[in-house]
Structure 1
Amino acid sequence: MRIIVGLWRWRHNPLRRGTDLVEAWVALTAVLLFALATPAVGWICRNTLDSSLRDTVRVQHEQRHRTTAVVVDRAADQHHTAYDAESLSKRSSGTRVTATWYAVDGSARTGTVSAPLRDPRAGDTFSMWTDRRTDKQVRGPMNATSARVHAVLAGFGATALAVGLVEGARRLIVWRLVQRRYRRLDRAWAAAGPDWGRTGAGS
């Protein structure tokens, strides 16, 4: 509000330069964008991503089946692979084992899967997710809380990016205005002549 009042009173100031007025309007526009546009960008981004992720969560839960597997033996191939997409650690891994489990239709399945066990032994059980169509092991579906957190963080990120773009544009315009002032000052200095400031110069 103070910026608006000051800008209104400053319109008829005899010391005001054209570039000063432009700079003031740029500052006012930036303030309005900071207050209104940038939060709107974050809100729209957050809601759009939240809706998309909710659909993803729903589809993943429809296409994936949680079952209990029973360890038969360790697998010969012991390379480690990521086990759970919802794990806080990106380096979480499982031990490859031969296990049996039940498919969606109730039939038994046997295969090599990744188990979240440090020292799996025959008879140990663990929970895992499988694809309902192929019955192969897949990562666990995203949960609603994780989807909401991702959407909120994306909203904050979009807001911060919008703020950065507005501030960058404002600084660029102000820099161009300052350069224009310097050029005008140089021309005025050159027009004054080499005797500017001396007593009786120009007489």
Structure 2
Amino acid sequence: MSRKMLWRWRRNPLRRRSDRAEAWLGVATVVVLAVGAPAAGAATGAGVSSALLRSAEGVSPATAVLEESLPVPDGGGPGGARYLAEVRWTGPDGEARSGEAWVGAGAEPGGSVPVWVDADGELRDPPLTPAAAYTAGALLGGSAAAGVCLVALGVRGGACARLDAGRARRWEREWARVAPQWSPRA
């Protein structure tokens, strides 16, 4: 592979324009893989992490009252099962509110359950921990970097296939012109 790449760069009367184009395409691909993919991954990861951390701002824990009974999970114990149930809580303005929230199995009707509310007193999902936000950012950043790599390699593969097809067409034209001079059967 390295001999082939170096051959395309040296001065040679047999070097074709398509060989130079393929060599420059290789250089561009290496630059995208070495610089573009890490940059895209870092930018995506940082953006996702900060967006997830910002979404946690203004969300605070509150206590609600469970208004309905929950089914008993299979296996008899709570076991980490959660159910969507009707709850009632008091908003920051002192007004009683109700809605559906995820409640752990084993909660009794009329008992207190933890919920998360925003500044307006509306129910929200619990915020991600900083570790979870950074993990999500890292996973999505890695996916973005891998996507850039796949696109760069796909573009290079497609362009090389077109260059190869053009070289094959030129070879066929030249062979059709030269073959009759070498063989009476051609």
Q: TM-score, normalised by structure 1?
A: 0.69
- Share of identical aligned residues, percent? 28
Q: Unaligned 5+ residue runs, structure 1?
A: 79-88
**Alignment of structure 1 residues 4-153 onto 2, 5 Å:** 7=6, 10-58=9-57, 62=58, 64-71=59-66, 73-74=67-68, 92-96=82-86, 99=88, 101-104=89-92, 107=94, 109=96, 111=98, 113-114=100-101, 116-133=103-120, 135-153=121-139
Shift of 1:123: 4.6
Distance 2:173 2:8 in 1: 30
2:153 to 167, 183, 188: 167
Shift of 1:149: 1.9
Aligned 8 A contact 2:9 2:23 in 1: no
- 2:77 is aligned to none
Shift of 1:136: 3.9
Shift of 1:113: 4.2
- 1:179 is aligned to 165
Aligned 8 A contact 2:8 2:20 in 1: no
Could you say if the C-alpha distance between residues 130 and 167 of structure 1 is closer, same or farther in structure 2, counting changes exceeding 3 Å?
A: same
Distance 2:44 2:17 in 1: 38
- 2:76 is aligned to none
Residue type of the alignment partner of 2:126: G
Deviation string 1:143-195 (CA, Å, 9 cap, x unpaired) is 32222222212211111111111111111111111111111111111112545
Residue type of the alignment partner of 2:28: T
1:116 aligned counterpart, secondary structure? strand
Distance 1:67 1:129 in 2: 6
Q: Unaligned 5+ residue runs, structure 2?
A: 71-79
Could you say if the C-alpha distance between residues 125 and 115 of structure 1 is closer, same or farther in structure 2, counting changes exceeding 3 Å?
A: farther
Distance 1:37 1:26 in 2: 15
Distance 1:162 1:112 in 2: 43
Distance 1:9 1:195 in 2: 30
Could you say if the C-alpha distance between residues 142 and 177 of structure 1 is closer, same or farther in structure 2, counting changes exceeding 3 Å?
A: same
Residue type of the alignment partner of 2:10: R
Could you say if the C-alpha distance between residues 140 and 23 of structure 1 is closer, same or farther in structure 2, counting changes exceeding 3 Å?
A: same
Shift of 1:132: 3.3
Shift of 1:108: 7.6
